[in-house]
Amino acid sequence: MAQKSDKTVQAVIPETDAGNVKAKIRWDVGKMQTTYANVCNVSSTREEFTFLFGINKAWNPEQRELTVDISDRVILNPYAAKRLSLLLRNIVRQHEVRFGEINIEPVVKPVENA
């Protein structure tokens, strides 16, 4: 399920407050692994945010108990979590402009009269 890549990605960050210096960031993805998740949960304390990612393999609406296989845990400090929140908000907005609104409400099947 995990894939490794040895590519390097570079990005230029806009001017910063420290003397208007442009910083060049080198994203080393040589040790990166890719994992798919269709479930995410998050909890927090004063010092950190803990994200749990996993896969729910059974999406049967009648099922009353689900087992989620947790594959990854990511722990962020509050500042990184806030930046992630802003990034996600922006990318979801862009996605919905291109592809339409993402509906996260459960789909209710109409009841058939017997």
State how far the Cα of 32 lies from the Cα of 85, in Å rounded to an integer.
22
Based on the domain organization, do 43 and 97 belong to the same domain? yes
Based on the domain organization, do 45 and 88 belong to the same domain? yes
Based on the domain organization, do 41 and 73 belong to the same domain? yes
Based on the domain organization, do 41 and 59 belong to the same domain? yes
Question: Is the pLDDT confidence value at 66 over 70?
Answer: yes
Query: What is the domain count for the chain?
Result: 2
Predicted confidence at residue 6, as pLDDT, reads 52
State how far the Cα of 7 lies from the Cα of 4, in Å rounded to an integer.
9
Instruction: Render pLDDT for 21-31 as a digit per residue (tens, 0 to 9).
Output: 788 889 999 99
Answer whether residue 18 is part of any domain: yes
The model's confidence at residue 65, banded by pLDDT at 50, 70 and 90, is confident
| H or E stretch at 9 | strand 8-12
Based on the domain organization, do 44 and 85 belong to the same domain? yes
Listed in sequence order, the residues at least 6 apart from 37 whose beta carbon sits closer than 8 Å to its beta carbon are: 53, 54, 55, 71, 72
Based on the domain organization, do 29 and 8 belong to the same domain? yes
Listed in sequence order, the residues at least 6 apart from 74 whose beta carbon sits closer than 8 Å to its beta carbon are: 50, 51, 53
Q: Which domain holds residue 2?
A: 1-34
Predicted confidence at residue 47, as pLDDT, reads 98
pTM score, whole prediction: 0.68
